[in-house]
Amino acid sequence: MRRPPGFDAAAAEAQRRMERAEELADLEAMCEIAQRRSACLAPDGGCEVLRCMHLAMVHRLAVPNWLRDEFARRYALVAGAHVGSFDAAFGRPWPQRTRMATARRRIELCARIHRAVWKLVHADPTRRITRDGVFNEVGAHREVALSGGAAEKLYYVALRGGAVNVADWRDQLLADLEANTRLTRESGVRTRPDTA
């Protein structure tokens, strides 16, 4: 089969992988919102409400009715002058006396570690996401400069912060590749290199 001029198979495959990763991230976000329902509805769950609203908006998900109602209830407390601040309605996002620069550096380091794991696994999907498989190498990067164990801990902090689970993405990718290979084999169709 001839490809149209300018068709880049590698770019098309990369685009397909990225779309699949986004779908998986959306599914993880929906699951996380559902799992956090009881925490959101707790009297001290205001920050959880904001976190779930953030997840829904970032992933362009429909906001569940219970979450919309809880957000509106807490917002109405401030708008109706029943409480004096958004902190009173939703809770403090950070403990008192938190050094914001330190917290920001930790968040940025978690993101760098997650990106490095993503790149390594994207380059070799069969690579194991373990201390020996990925985290020691990530920790040795100049911009990370941590032990493999510390890099591993911060990777899981990034996951708890809403980052895509690279292992789940990789497993889904490998399952898709295996299914495509099986279908090709069962159909008896032989693939051949594209001719320009």
pLDDT in tens, 111-122: 999 999 988 988
Asked if residue 184 and residue 117 are part of one domain, the reply reads yes
Residue 143: inside a domain? yes
Is the domain of 140 the same as that of 181? yes
2 inside domain:
no
Does the pLDDT value for residue 194 go beyond 60?
A: no
Give whole-number Cα distances, 189 to 81, 181, 183, 186, 192, in Å: 70, 11, 9, 8, 10
CB contact at 8 A, 24 and 164:
yes
pLDDT given for residue 196 in this prediction:
45
Classify residue 41: in a domain, yes or no: yes
**Residue 52 and residue 30 share a domain:** yes
Number of domains in the chain: 2
Distance of CA 184 to the CA centre of its chain: 31
pLDDT in tens, 136-162: 999 998 888 899 999 999 999 988 877
* Residue 103 CB coordination number (10 Å): 13
Q: Is residue 3 part of a domain?
A: no
3-state secondary structure of 88: helix
Let me know whether 46 and 103 are in one domain.
no
In a domain, 28, yes or no: yes
CA distance 163 to 113: 11
The whole-number pLDDT of residue 72 equals 96
pLDDT band at 32 (very low <50, low <70, confident <90, very high): confident
**pLDDT tens readout for residues 53-69:** 998 998 899 999 999 99
Final residue before a domain boundary, out of 93, 127, 145: 93
**Domain-terminating residue out of 60, 78, 93:** 93
Same domain (yes/no): 47, 127: no
**Residue 70 CA: distances (Å) to CA of 29, 57, 141, 158, 160:** 18, 16, 43, 26, 22
Q: Identify the domain containing residue 63 by its residue range.
A: 9-93
